[in-house]
Structure formats: structure tokens, C-alpha cells
């Protein structure tokens, strides 16, 4: 257990967590940029191209084939990192989770105040009539999912390349981070913008980065923990919230 991380959490009352794909790898969901990540898959068309707005519009059949195979993990369960953060929030020590993930595992673990910068696979809507559909509709359909009501394409509420982030979500994340006393960053390379730029709004006391590989902001951190995030957060929160 990292004593320095525990000490920071003991002093925190308005912590905010900012995380990325590395938070969910312990749940069996691959990240994007590691040696075994989605972008290392290869193939004739780069994944970044397939996951772009213009490619989605031009080749929805190819997009949805890739999307179902590589981005949907309906059986994934929250890991120790997710549950540790939910426990911190329930204890009144964590104000918000700001995530780049689209898997919904923070909410499944019990977190309430979650800002999903890149959307969620659990929200889908017809591009023509706006009718909402759950994840199961995408999983159970074949090819391009079509709205039974009007025949329009049902698009996942996930931010593709070339698409802007939701202003309301970004503004709420900025407010949370700017009012935090501790910013916990975990499971992210801090290489995806504009999401990574949110850290510049932090004005609190302790900046902590929990990540297995170095990030561009390590030199600015008060503490860098190069451990699996489930282990680091799980052990620290167990020690913090244990009776006595």
C-alpha cells in the first residue's frame, strides 16, 4: 500500500478523479495505445480512421462491425479501481469522476457524479427521429442498426474523431476540477485532447498520477504511482475507510 497516496487521501475532502482506458483494463476491456491495445490490432484500415465521423457516415457497415468487435464488452464488471472511487464518493471525499471511458463501469460500481467526456455505449439514438435505444439493441441487431419506427440509423452516443465534446459535460468537468482539493489522474496517457487539457484547471493542493507508464504531466505531479490502478486505489481506500 502506498503510504504517500493514503496520506493525501486522508487530507482530501473534495477530490476529483480523472481517468482513461487504463482504469478498465483490469475489467478485461483493452485500452487503445498500449502494445496490446485496440490500435495495435493492425488491419487494412487504421482504427483511428474507422472511428472517425466521416468514415461512420460513409461506411456505417464497416464501422459497426469494428465497433461491436472491439468496443462493446457487455459482460465486463467493475474492478477494484471503480469500486474504490465509488466508496470514496459515498464517504464524502470524492466530488466527481471525470472519465474518457464509454463503458459505464463507474456507474455500475456505484459512482453517482460521473462526467463521461466521450459519451457512453449505453446510450444510442436514431439519427432521424431521435428515439433512444439501449446497448442491447445494438448488440442484437445485425449490420447497421436501423430504427424500427422510422428506418433511420441508430448511432451510439460516443464521440468519434472529428466530433466535438459535449459543451455541458466539459463545463461541468471544468467546474469540478477547478474546485477540487486533490486531482487523482489514473489509467490515462494524457495524450488525447481536448480531454487531457482539463488538468490545467486544477488549482488544489495535490496532483496525483497513478499510471503504469510515464505521462507528459508527471513532472508537475506531487505524487506519481507506477502501479496497477486497481491495486493502488483499492489498497489506499481500504486503509482509509477501514473501521478503526
Residues spanned by the domain of 137: 38-73+126-158
Query: 236 and 179, same structural domain?
Result: yes
Asked whether 182 and 13 are in contact (CB, 8 A), the reply is no
Three-state DSSP state, 10: helix
In Å, how far are 24, 45, 54, 129, 153 from 57, measured between CA atoms? 29, 15, 5, 17, 10
Query: 133 and 230, same structural domain?
Result: no
What pLDDT was estimated at residue 43? 72
Strands (E), 141-222: 154-158, 182-186, 206-210
What pLDDT was estimated at residue 37? 67
Query: 95 and 190, same structural domain?
Result: yes
Query: 131 and 224, same structural domain?
Result: no
Q: How many domains does the chain have?
A: 2
What pLDDT was estimated at residue 39? 67
What pLDDT was estimated at residue 31? 82
**What residues in the chain have per-residue pLDDT under 70?**
33-37, 39-42, 244
Query: 197 and 153, same structural domain?
Result: no
Query: 133 and 65, same structural domain?
Result: yes
Name the pairing type of β-strands 132-133 and 119-126. antiparallel
Which CATH number goes with the domain that contains 183?
3.40.50.1220
Site of grid cell 487539457: 197
Query: 224 and 130, same structural domain?
Result: no
Boundary residue ending a domain (106, 136, 158): 158
Catalytic residues: 118
What pLDDT was estimated at residue 244? 59
Query: 57 and 176, same structural domain?
Result: no
Query: 168 and 67, same structural domain?
Result: no
Query: 183 and 63, same structural domain?
Result: no
Query: 148 and 68, same structural domain?
Result: yes
Amino acid at each position: 500500500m502506498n503510504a504517500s497516496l493514503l496520506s493525501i487521501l486522508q487530507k482530501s475532502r473534495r477530490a476529483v478523479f480523472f481517468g482513461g482506458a487504463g482504469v478498465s483494463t483490469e475489467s478485461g476491456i483493452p485500452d487503445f495505445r498500449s502494445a496490446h491495445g485496440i490500435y495495435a490490432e493492425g488491419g487494412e484500415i487504421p482504427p483511428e480512421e474507422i472511428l472517425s465521423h466521416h468514415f461512420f457516415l460513409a461506411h456505417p457497415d464497416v464501422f459497426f462491425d469494428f465497433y461491436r468487435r472491439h468496443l462493446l464488452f457487455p459482460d465486463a464488471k467493475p474492478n477494484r479501481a471503480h469500486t474504490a472511487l465509488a466508496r470514496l464518493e459515498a464517504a464524502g471525499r470524492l466530488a466527481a469522476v471525470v472519465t474518457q471511458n464509454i463503458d459505464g463501469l463507474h456507474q455500475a460500481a456505484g459512482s453517482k457524479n460521473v462526467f463521461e467526456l466521450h459519451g457512453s455505449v449505453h446510450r444510442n439514438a436514431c439519427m432521424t427521429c431521435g428515439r433512444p435505444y439501449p446497448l442491447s439493441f445494438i448488440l442484437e441487431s445485425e449490420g447497421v442498426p436501423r430504427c424500427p419506427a422510422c428506418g433511420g440509423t441508430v448511432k451510439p452516443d460516443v464521440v468519434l474523431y472529428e466530433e466535438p465534446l459535449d459543451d455541458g459535460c466539459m463545463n461541468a468537468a471544468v467546474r469540478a476540477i477547478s474546485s477540487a482539493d486533490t486531482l487523482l489522474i489514473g489509467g490515462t496517457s494524457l495524450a488525447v485532447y481536448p480531454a487531457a487539457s482539463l488538468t490545467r484547471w486544477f488549482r488544489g493542493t495535490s496532483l496525483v498520477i497513478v499510471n503504469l507508464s510515464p505521462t507528459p504531466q508527471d513532472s508537475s505531479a506531487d505524487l506519481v504511482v507506477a502501479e496497477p490502478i486497481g491495486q493502488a486505489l483499492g489498497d489506499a481506500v481500504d486503509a482509509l475507510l477501514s473501521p478503526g
